[in-house]
Amino acid sequence: MPTSLLIATNNPGKRLEIQAILADLPLKLVLPVELGLNLEVEETGHTYQENAVLKAVAFSRASGLPSLADDSGLEVDVLGGEPGVHSARYAPIPNATDADRRHYLLERLRPHPVPDGLPGWPARFRCVVALALPAGEIYLAEGTCPGFIITHERGQHGFGYDPIFYLPDYNKTMAELPPEVKNRISHRARALQAARPFLQRVLNLAPDDPLP
């Protein structure tokens, strides 16, 4: 019988990505809505790691299941790493949308010229995933995806800052990539790939279960 793992997020975009990336593992991925959980965890941490742990532990305690959470953000060099852990709450307006956050970021970048010879402002997405077990153990993994912020939006896929995050190797923004490509190269994909060894070990997945 597959081991149950709660995907500890209410963000539908993140949830779909995590489900797709882990689809080949012998896990029964459980969503909060399936357990009647409507848990909102305040992200009071000062780092991605702290926020990921806060969410994973809260969902594990509420459900009694191993719970996987992530915290991620966009870091722009010329802004000293902003928006960072505040990426989801960056725009200083109530009920800001993803489009509002993208617009605010580009307004913040406007006074800074794009470096000569580069397609945009150097930046990276960073993600930390945390696995919390009901007995209290916590396991962490991290992934990053470098790229550039460009001045105009491109693409219809993804969410968040994806339409202005440009990947030179593909000559596309993250939002222009097919989901199967994004789920191979994104910061979240890389963090989850790094988490696979401890997912297999601590969730007692069979040692001969296939890995990509």
Active site residue 71: yes
DSSP H helices, the chain, are 12-21, 48-63, 98-109, 179-185, 187-202
Neighbours of 149 (CB within 10 A): 24
Q: No. of H helices and E strands in the chain?
A: 5, 7
- Give CA–CA dist 102/112, Å, rounded: 16
- Give CA–CA dist 40/58, Å, rounded: 9
173 is in an annotated binding site: no
How many alpha carbons lie under 13 Å from residue 105 in its C-beta half-sphere? 38
51 is in an annotated binding site: no
- What single letter denotes the amino acid at residue 47? T
55 is in an annotated binding site: no
60 is in an annotated binding site: no
159 is in an annotated binding site: yes
10 is in an annotated binding site: yes
162 is in an annotated binding site: yes
187 is in an annotated binding site: yes
- Give CA–CA dist 59/62, Å, rounded: 5
Please give the backbone phi and psi of residue 131, each rounded to the nearest 5 degrees, phi first.
-110, 120
Among 71, 77, 100, 169, the one annotated catalytic: 71
71 is in an annotated binding site: yes
14 is in an annotated binding site: yes
Tell me which residues are annotated as active site: 71
Residues annotated within the binding site are 9-14, 42, 71-72, 159-162, 182, 187-188
Residues annotated within the binding site for Mg(2+) are 42, 71
Residues annotated within the binding site for substrate are 9-14, 72, 159-162, 182, 187-188
